[in-house]
Amino acid sequence: MKLLEGKPIAEKIKEEIKQRVSSFANKPVLASIMVGENAGAASYVKSQGRAADNLGITYQLHRLAPDISEAELVKFVQKLNSDKSVNGIIIQMPLPAQIDYKKISQHIAPEKDIEGMHPANMGKIAFGTLTSLSANGERSRTIGQAKILPCTPAAVMELLNATGVDLYGKEVVVVGHSEIVGKPLALLLLDKFATVTVCHIGTSKAGKLEEHVRKAEVLIVAVGKARLIKGEWVKEGAIVIDVGINRVADDIVGDVEFEEAAKRAAFITPVPGGVGPLTVTMLMRNLVEAAKLQQ
Ligand code: NAD
């Protein structure tokens, strides 16, 4: 079993980002919006600010009042959209009850949407990222349609890439079908010609989760339920990517029973230390990509 850690992969990508940043005439600028005060958001902001700083990226934090209206927040986002010195915009979660994240995030200009959540960027994923199809439906050439990928799915793809395993024709099972992880990830995997099964709460309710997980050559779990996936369900030699983050007593655990799964898997991510360290790096890579698109 090989432990698939995010940090060494992130370090390599950070070096590439640094090089790209140094080729810009001005430092790229990331504008981060935080509405009200929240311990979780404050900690994200801190680590994003540190990551940006280390890469030569300017991190601009905009603190807005907790009672701001949706219309006022949209106006603020539009101001950042038209500010030529700003290359990327991120809205910190959680937002107060009067603000609908989905609605607001659609007002971010697609070329500044470094979380890759705007429908225009999501849509590009459906049209393929790295490959186009030839007449017989096989992979043909690199076209690079989507440049800005949602951060967590992009992090998962980097981890899979690091295993050196070709996903072509592999039986891949994704558990979780959220807009930020499962759904875009399934599209990225299809782009690699994996055979993708997406499971969710309906699969569990139908009593079929175990049967799907057992056939997975590559298993990716993004649910948010501690140890939902029993280690004994994991196929011998599988690649296991655990996206879940669950606080249990004083511990942080994933969605997969790690000890048991590790006995069977060829590669497995630790929680914490797997996907997590890569997501902020993906955000910074998107920023640099956005800055390039805007040139
Ligand atoms: P979400 O709540 O939006 O979606 C959860 C998904 O799990 C849904 O598809 C739901 O149908 C499915 N689900 C719920 N119960 C299930 C069950 N019993 N069996 C099968 N499927 C079930 O969650 P999300 O935002 O995608 O996040 C999922 C997890 O990933 C959370 O723990 C979150 O903290 C973590 N996460 C980690 C990172 C990271 O950087 N490491 C990034 C994003 C999310």
CATH number at residue 111: 3.40.50.10860
Q: How far is the CA of 247 from the centre of ligand 1 (A)?
A: 14
Q: How far apart are CA 281 and CA 12, in angstroms?
A: 10
Residues 286 and 218 grouped into a single domain: no
Summarised one tens digit per residue, pLDDT across range 147-168 is: 899 999 999 999 999 999 999 9
Q: Strands (DSSP E) along the chain, which ranges?
A: 2-3, 29-35, 58-64, 88-91, 171-175, 195-199, 218-221, 239-242, 246-248, 251-253, 267-268
| Domain contains 256 | yes
Summarised one tens digit per residue, pLDDT across range 42-82 is: 999 999 999 999 999 999 999 999 999 999 999 999 999 99
Pocket test for ligand 1, best of 44, 92, 178 (most atoms within 8 A of CB): 178
Q: Bridge-partner residues for 3, per DSSP?
A: 268
Do residues 251 and 227 touch, judged by C-beta distance below 8 A? no
Do residues 256 and 229 touch, judged by C-beta distance below 8 A? yes
Q: How far is the CA of 178 from the centre of ligand 1 (A)?
A: 7
Residues 65 and 155 grouped into a single domain: no
**Residue 84 belongs to what domain range?**
25-122+278-294
Q: Tokens for 165?
A: 């395993």
Q: How far is the CA of 245 from the centre of ligand 1 (A)?
A: 9
Residue 145 has a pLDDT of 61
In the chain, how many domains are there? Answer: 2
Q: What is the mean pLDDT of the chain?
A: 94
Residues 184 and 154 grouped into a single domain: yes
| Domain contains 10 | no
pTM value? 0.95
Residues 155 and 192 grouped into a single domain: yes
Residue nearest to atom 23 of ligand 1 (CA): 223
Q: How far is the CA of 11 from the centre of ligand 1 (A)?
A: 26
Q: 38 CB under 6 A from ligand 1? A: no
Q: How far is the CA of 42 from the centre of ligand 1 (A)?
A: 22
- Binning pLDDT at 50, 70 and 90, where does residue 132 land? low
- Is pLDDT at 144 greater than 60 in this prediction? no
- Binning pLDDT at 50, 70 and 90, where does residue 137 land? confident
Residue 124 has a pLDDT of 86
> For position 224, which CATH number holds?
3.40.50.720
Q: 117 CB under 6 A from ligand 1? A: no
